[in-house]
Structure 1
């Protein structure tokens, strides 16, 4: 089952309805805290409205010359200031108690679904898009929950309560204040209709730009080998220009929107001042009441402006949330019945593959690997070695032809069975932060201490692990004990042994280890993987010489195939490469510079 990608080839984005339903589902277990938050927010906002009225009382007392009457409004102002501050702090605390668990649940859902996505699906949709979502989009939503939501909620409550306060002083103040409303509504409708899609486009454009940069940088050797540099530069420039253009559109809408809002504010202040003058002249209200009304209205625009300022952030957060919910709602692949596999053979039949239409990487590749044997794949950078083993591992579906593992097409194996059948180790090994034994148990959570120790011993790592400060309990990875490239690869080999897959693919797994480390790793791998079916992308020709079979790729085609001795005797490309190395004493590399695991 493939993940439904959007029209632009990225991972899906949830609709507004799906996003709301998902948010409600996350809030439902915390409804009591939500209600308490609303009540405290209402009380705090109501207290803030006492301040303008109390100042109006002070004005009336001063006009009447009653000094004693000034004392109690001042006492009210002091009490209100303290109480409002306490309630505001309590409101922010309650919002954090509601929002942080919701945010944690969202992160967990997104990460869980992201980890469950088949690796091939992630590559097809774009790892850059996924990275942009679980980093940039999560940061946007986090900032909104921690800052924007509390500010927006308080501002909304203050606006409607201020309107009530105006009406309480004199209903005519509330009526004349409404004269500014049509301008507000017009500006807001104009802005929302146009800016919402712009912010959604902005998040998508940033994800597409990140994906293009990752593709170009991650596949730099392939780009160089096929002379695709100018094309990738044009693509990166186009993606960047699209992101900048969308950002300019957003700024343009903001500027025009704020011009309309300033006009509305000017209209509102003018009509309230005029109304206050006539009402005081006619004796309908006191000067203090008119002062309070003017203060209410002038304070009204602060939360209104805050709301409007938050609209940008809210829409951006909404677009980011929709992208996260799009990942969180991706249905996991349906369970499949485990296919009955035969002996661990690998059959590649007429496989074609192209990353871009019109530029094929593999052309009619055939490969048959007998159970329990080692096959080395050699070729120049860009020959298609890594692409071939990714197809064998199930990361990429072939454009034509098929791959069979144990006699069963790879496409018929579910993700779990595929993981149990074929294991891929590349030169880029990630060491997760935490105790080393937990890092190993990622491969098999139910592995006992004895299982872990046996895997370390077979991988040749038990001696240096035992010498660590806390042995296998030592914290490794970021912030912990740093492992050498050779140690990291031995750790990956131990993980592979815990998975116990019958078919193993080693993609340049010793390239970063150095000559001595590579020989040590090759020896450990040969001993540990004895009896398994192994395909190794050979960085060193000693790996090919020790293999049961050698496949030579050239520009995506099978150039030669046979044992090391047969190919040397055939005096072809492999023989020339072997002869050049043997006569020069150069490091036994596979047709040139090492090829990163991300390259083809």
Structure 2
């Protein structure tokens, strides 16, 4: 059920620019522009500069905690220098045959430094997690708010898999980076800096020997960054495409089986999975080469420090303990340097995921659609008489050169119930969604009344939220009391089974709760419609998922709830047309007939042929809507 609030969908005579072309293949995001999948225009990805700005904006409210975390990590890195220096002290003490008391003192200093370092590391990680998780929570809230405000057509263009991958996989990747990558990056960088200072404090030549490994490491990192950024971005996109295809194939499994499309869908899933796997294998191979180059740098640096230590000790310019401490300090760099450079990979993966989240967070609603405020009460309650609806010269094409609707002109009088009928692909759902404001027409306009009344769309895809039955109804009217909820359920014909639930309105339904049948779920949607009380309602095959008996129940409830509203109903069953004030027949995107049921059935035209072919045309005669 989707409330909409903009009656004038198009300015007179204006033509909307064609949507971005959809083309096959997988493109690597280059920043900002939509990426296209096989038949989808993916949601945008933010540029690196915009991602950094938004990250800083999200962290700014907790900048004091962030500064404290940096100081704690700096103290941890300084404490880490004590261990190698204490070991060097012990070596010198043993060499000059010092007392056991001095050795014990050096060992006590070593153990104390290790304990302090562990405590500081834990405190730093806790502070970083607090700052990062809070910032990520703000980003999640912003992403969800933007997604809820987007026109449904934009989500449909991107496909559910792209959005699911962003709010699921990408958000999890960023969360994992906040919990582990950020603390490790900060700790490793500070450890490297303090270790170089420690080497210089022992003797500048030790520091110089250790820094000889830096050019090799810098060259390896430069090579890695140049190739890994685009690769990880493409890997995230490929993962989203794989998720989308799996969701579509599994979600439409009944249709896939009915039309024997299993092989085709299996091939598509295999292709998307193969593409994602190919990127993953390439990323793994690149990391292996990267670490191999880092190992070369380690051997160069350690070898030069040992050579320098040998000559300095031999010439009397350094003690054996100092040379030992220098070698231990450089060896101590192996883990933080490798970790730092390796974390660049995970940071880039998280950065690619963050850019995809920021791309959604920065989306703005289309100018020609009024988007409901998710924080307020839906402005759909009826405060005036039902308005007229005027559709003038509406054309629509999902793809350029493939028109779906051709110059539709249609008028709905105030309070009139009009049923759209036609074969599959005639354009019924497209016209209904244009009237409801979900899709803007390629050309033409839809004008509803004069006071911008709200339109509510109810289709066959009814979502049951995890929560109580009352929670599922209140979004349509947050101020509704329990008697209002029960009255709406009664109108929808759902009151008998609701009263039979163990806790009535307080019964938990949806995921983890009582499972509702398709008929019950649609009755719940009709009750939402009754609560919202819009002056204009559009129903798109709202009984399509029910069986024959269930469809009759839903049709009777819909007739009751639509009484007194201007309504457009897409008929899945021709029995719905019998009670309509007027039937409009669509064929290949054009209106070919319209009029009351009995006239069209007797006219021998397109509708008469459809009615004669309808299996229940002799028995399915519900009572008329009007007494």
Question: Same fold, TM exceeding 0.5?
Answer: yes
Change (3 A) 1:153 1:12: same
Point out the more displaced range, 4-13 or 560-569: 4-13
The aligned residue for residue 509 of structure 1 is 542
Once the two structures are superposed, the pairs formed by residues 435-514 of structure 1 within 5 Å of their partners are 435-514=468-547
Offset at residue 302 of structure 1 (A):
0.8
Change (3 A) 1:556 1:235: farther
Answer yes or no: is 1:55 the counterpart of 2:87.
Answer: yes
Instruction: Name which of 106, 109, 127 aligns with 1:76.
Output: 109
The aligned residue for residue 428 of structure 2 is 385
Offset at residue 177 of structure 1 (A):
0.9
Once the two structures are superposed, the pairs formed by residues 90-489 of structure 1 within 5 Å of their partners are 90-208=123-241, 210=243, 243=276, 246-247=279-280, 249-331=282-364, 344-406=387-449, 421-489=454-522
Offset at residue 204 of structure 1 (A):
3.5
Q: Deviations over 1:211-263 (max 9, x none)?
A: 56667877899999999999999988876666555545544543443333222
Change (3 A) 1:381 1:224: farther
Q: Deviations over 1:149-204 (max 9, x none)?
A: 11111111111111112112222100111111111122222322332233233334
Point out the more displaced range, 62-71 or 18-27: 62-71
| Residues in 2 aligned to 1:445 and 1:368: alpha-carbon distance in whole angstroms | 33
Whether the 8 Å CA contact 1:222–1:381 is kept in 2: the answer is no
Whether the 8 Å CA contact 2:575–2:617 is kept in 1: the answer is no
Q: Deviations over 1:103-154 (max 9, x none)?
A: 1111111111111122233334544433322122211111111111111111
Between Structure 1 and Structure 2, how many residues are aligned?
577
| Residues in 2 aligned to 1:139 and 1:23: alpha-carbon distance in whole angstroms | 16
Point out the more displaced range, 119-128 or 130-139: 119-128
Larger fraction in helix: 1
The aligned residue for residue 563 of structure 2 is 530
Answer yes or no: is 1:13 the counterpart of 2:45.
Answer: yes
Whether the 8 Å CA contact 2:386–2:566 is kept in 1: the answer is no
RMSD (CA atoms) = 3.5
The aligned residue for residue 43 of structure 1 is 75
Whether the 8 Å CA contact 1:225–1:381 is kept in 2: the answer is no
Change (3 A) 1:330 1:509: same
Point out the more displaced range, 491-500 or 478-487: 478-487
Change (3 A) 1:10 1:250: same
Runs (5+) with no aligned partner, structure 1? 409-416, 589-600
| Residues in 2 aligned to 1:231 and 1:311: alpha-carbon distance in whole angstroms | 39
TM-score, with length taken from structure 2: 0.83
| Residues in 2 aligned to 1:350 and 1:96: alpha-carbon distance in whole angstroms | 57
Whether the 8 Å CA contact 2:488–2:528 is kept in 1: the answer is yes
| Residues in 1 aligned to 2:138 and 2:565: alpha-carbon distance in whole angstroms | 41
TM-score, with length taken from structure 1: 0.86
| SS at 2:437 equivalent | coil
| Residues in 2 aligned to 1:221 and 1:355: alpha-carbon distance in whole angstroms | 25
| SS at 2:93 equivalent | helix
Offset at residue 299 of structure 1 (A):
1.5
The aligned residue for residue 29 of structure 1 is 61
Runs (5+) with no aligned partner, structure 2? 1-8, 10-15, 21-31, 36-40, 372-378, 622-627
| Residues in 2 aligned to 1:429 and 1:393: alpha-carbon distance in whole angstroms | 16
Higher relative contact order structure (alpha carbons within 8 Å, sequence separation ≥ 6): 2
Change (3 A) 1:202 1:341: farther
| Residues in 2 aligned to 1:115 and 1:21: alpha-carbon distance in whole angstroms | 24
Point out the more displaced range, 505-514 or 324-333: 324-333
Q: Deviations over 1:379-398 (max 9, x none)?
A: 33333322221122111122
Q: Deviations over 1:84-117 (max 9, x none)?
A: 2222222222222212211111111111111112
Q: Deviations over 1:313-341 (max 9, x none)?
A: 11111121122122222345679799x99
| Residues in 2 aligned to 1:543 and 1:41: alpha-carbon distance in whole angstroms | 70
Whether the 8 Å CA contact 2:575–2:620 is kept in 1: the answer is no
| Residues in 2 aligned to 1:571 and 1:236: alpha-carbon distance in whole angstroms | 47
| SS at 1:483 equivalent | coil
| Residues in 1 aligned to 2:462 and 2:327: alpha-carbon distance in whole angstroms | 67
